[in-house]
Amino acid sequence: MSFVISQALDGAIETYDDLLAAITDETDGQASASQLAAYIRRAEARIRRKLAIDPVRPMMVRADITVDGEYVDSPADMVRPFGIELTDGTDRREVVFVETENATGVYSSNSLGRDTFTAYTGGGTYPDRFTMLDGEFRFYPVPDTTRTGTLFYYQELPAISVDNQNNWLLEAHPDAYLSAALYYAYRAMPDIDKAAAMKAIFEEEMAEIIEAYPKPENRQTLSVDSGLAGHRFYGW
């Protein structure tokens, strides 16, 4: 059996209201009107799970961060961080991420070999490592005073609704929203064949979306590079 979304709808879905209408049109009015919003919410949850595994460039945002202790709350809409920079007002320092499983050893044994990390010009203790624990950032070493900077992170896909009519994904890739919502609509009818077809279409569309935003190559020297290894172990 073959099943495709009507080509007449290409480019026509720009808002939440458009998406509601498209679900009704594609199902010839058979989708329960009272459940349309629920189909979209479930579609959005499925999309978010995909993007949590493979976050893409439009999700990248930045926000001010204040570090005034060992633990700092993370943003409610954060999927994962990819950078923190702290500043003394003149110079900026990167705070390096440490996997949670390794953090305790770093923090307890002071394996970095120092108690403080001094800014270029401002002096004082700056954190140079952080990890994530139960929705909070944990910093090491603990700053001697409040430090400010910038947090860079992948932001969770904002929910669309009557009051928030679109987001970056609906604007750029409305087909993913539609196919995922139709999957849940057909499954509820039930029309198992069409539900299976829409699930396959959705999976293909999400794979294409992720491929459309290739991640840049990391140009930083790897710790296994011979030059760096020699410097680390032999003081070259």
Has residue 164 been placed in a domain? yes
Report if residue 162 sits inside a domain: yes
128 and 167 both lie in a single domain: no
* Residue showing tokens 């923090």: 107
* Residue 74 covered by a domain: yes
pLDDT tens per residue across span 191-215:
999 999 999 999 999 999 999 998 7
| Residue where a domain stops, chosen among 100, 123, 145 | 145
**Residues 135 and 25 both lie in one domain:** no
Instruction: Count structural domains, the chain.
Output: 2
For residue 219, being part of any structural domain is answered with: no
Examine the domain organization and report whether 139 and 163 are in the same domain.
Answer: no
Looking at the fold, whether 75 and 139 belong to one and the same domain comes out as: yes
**In this structure, are 88 and 204 located in the same domain?**
no
Query: For residue 187, which amino acid is it?
Result: R
* Mean pLDDT across 64-80: 95
pTM (two decimals): 0.79
> What's CA 29's distance to the chain center, in Å?
35
Residues 116 and 138 in one domain: yes
- Total Cβ atoms within 10 A of residue 38: 14
Residues 78 and 110 both lie in one domain: yes
Q: How confident is the model at residue 120 (pLDDT cuts 50, 70, 90)?
A: very low
pLDDT tens digit sequence for 11-63: 489 999 999 999 999 999 999 999 999 999 999 999 999 999 999 999 999 99
pLDDT for residue 153 is more than 90 = yes
Asked if residue 235 is part of any domain, the answer here is no
Q: Looking up tokens 């926000």, which residue turns up? A: 63
Integer Cα distance of 15 and 67 in angstroms: 38
Domain span at residue 187? 7-56+158-211
Same domain membership, residue 139 and residue 97: yes
- Domain assignment present for 166: yes
* 3-state secondary structure labels for all residues of 1-28: CCCCCCHHHCCCCCCHHHHHHHHHHHCC
Residue 113 domain flag: yes
The predicted structure's pLDDT at residue 200: 97
Q: Assess whether 49 and 80 both reside in one domain.
A: no
Residue 226 lies in a domain: no
Helix or strand or coil: residue 157? coil
